[in-house]
Amino acid sequence: MIRPFIATGLACALSACSIIAGVADMEGQATADGVAASTPMILDGDQILFEIEAETPDGAWRRCLALLNMGQAPPVLRRGLYDELEIAGGRALRLRIGGRRIEIAAAAVRSEPERAAGERQFGPFFPSRRVDMVLQSGALSNGGIVLDYPARRLVFAASGALPADGVAAPIRVDRRTGLALVDAQIDGATHAFVIDAGSPYSWTRGALASSWAARHPEWLRAKGAVGPANYNMLDLPFEKDGLMLRIPQIMIGPLAMRDIGVMGSGPSLSPVVDSIFGEAFWDIWQANAGEPVAGWLGANVLKTYRLTIDYPRAMSYWRKMSEPDPRELDVVGVTLVYESGRYFIGGVARKSGLASVAEASIGDEIVAVDGMAMRGAPREAALSALHGAPGERKLLRIARKGLERDIEARVDHY
């Protein structure tokens, strides 16, 4: 049985952001030396992990695994590490990436409870590895960063020390939080998007997506998140009732991005709640950006570039390295809900008004796909199992009311 995550839904970051309600003012809370550092980028379901060191109270350096998130402000540590480093006692968080050192005031550091393997870490995240901390935008915005997806490298450096490599596009940086915004021209209008490498997919406000779909019905691919857009896997309409769109062109300054997949969110909690309070999630989250935002650009866009961001100089540089994957959404059209290592059907995507998997029911557990066990499988493995060539048939073993049965499901192109 799917259990709802209602408490997670409204004030929490249902994007790749960790669960931090309100705005944490990071201005002046983080410092870094001028040394440049390069470190391998570990991709886990298109989320970026990397190794970092934290200084312990006895002056030793402890190796940790960090997740990079650019959609929220303060760094977040798992509770055991937070206690070990004595942050609660007022000791600053001192980090080292290669030779580059970063220091963050204790008051600006948050902690998350320890969770067992198979449970979500840092809010909606459930990476395949145990993560020690989330390094967020507020700890990065006093320097520059290169996200080199093709080379699987991260580079951290002082402002002005990184080459201006690629098409230049001005950004706006909220000095309290470090969130970086870029203007994108879509369908003749300008919209502010947060650059969010913590998100595997690009999302936008549901009302905006609905307006685009009304004007351009050919942009609408399906109702319901599928494939990599279905990365939260929470039992909420925010994901289950969203709109999958293919936008023919997004312009960022002189840079043309073509055939971009974007997920328009469903209601934050329910249509009734949204009719009263508006798009509650977006209105709460955008406070971190300091201005109204249309959404965020996630890894499905960013991973085709070598992206340089110079926060103090409010400039970004985009070097295109590959084309977007036209097959990223060639999947079985179900919206998954994840709970403690198990995958349930939270929704069945509708394409051209028709349910994509007629025999599936909401609440079914997917036990296996083509013989691959789903229980305990990492998110990326589960999504890969549902990926294929359009028209291909997948054999889904489902559990419903204690009984298991096999059903066939077709792979569609979204």
Amino acid 14: pLDDT: 44
Question: What is the block-wise mean pLDDT of the chain (414 residues), using blocks of 10 residues?
Answer: 40 41 76 94 94 98 96 94 98 95 96 88 87 94 95 95 95 96 98 96 96 96 94 93 96 95 90 77 92 97 97 97 92 96 95 88 97 95 97 97 95 94
Q: pLDDT, tens digit, for every residue of 284-320?
A: 999 999 999 999 999 999 999 999 999 999 999 999 9
Write down the residue that tokens 């999302």 correspond to.
203
- How many other CB atoms are there within 10 angstroms of residue 259's CB atom? 13
pLDDT at 268: 80
3-state secondary structure of 77: strand
Four-residue CA torsion sign, 228, 232, 233, 235: negative
Q: Degrees (nearest 5) of the Cα angle 183, 210, 331? A: 95
CA distances from 153 to 48, 98, 150, 307, 359 (A): 10, 13, 8, 11, 44
DSSP 236: S
Q: Say what the pLDDT of residue 78 is.
A: 96
Question: How do residues 220-241 score in pLDDT, each as one tens digit?
Answer: 999 999 999 999 999 999 999 9
Domains of the chain and any CATH numbers: 8-157 (2.40.70.10), 164-320 (2.40.70.10), 330-413 (2.30.42.10)
Tokens of 236: 């909420």
Query: Tell me, what DSSP letter sits at residue 108?
Result: G
Tokens encoding 137: 């935008």
> pTM to 2 decimals?
0.92
**What is the C-alpha separation between 37 and 49, in angstroms, rounded?**
15
Q: What is the pLDDT of residue 311?
A: 97
What phi and psi values does residue 86 have, to the nearest 5 degrees?
A: 60, 40
Can you say whether residue 218 is alpha, beta or left, with left for phi > 0 and alpha for psi between -120 and 50 degrees?
Answer: alpha
- CA triple 328-334-338, angle to 5 deg: 95
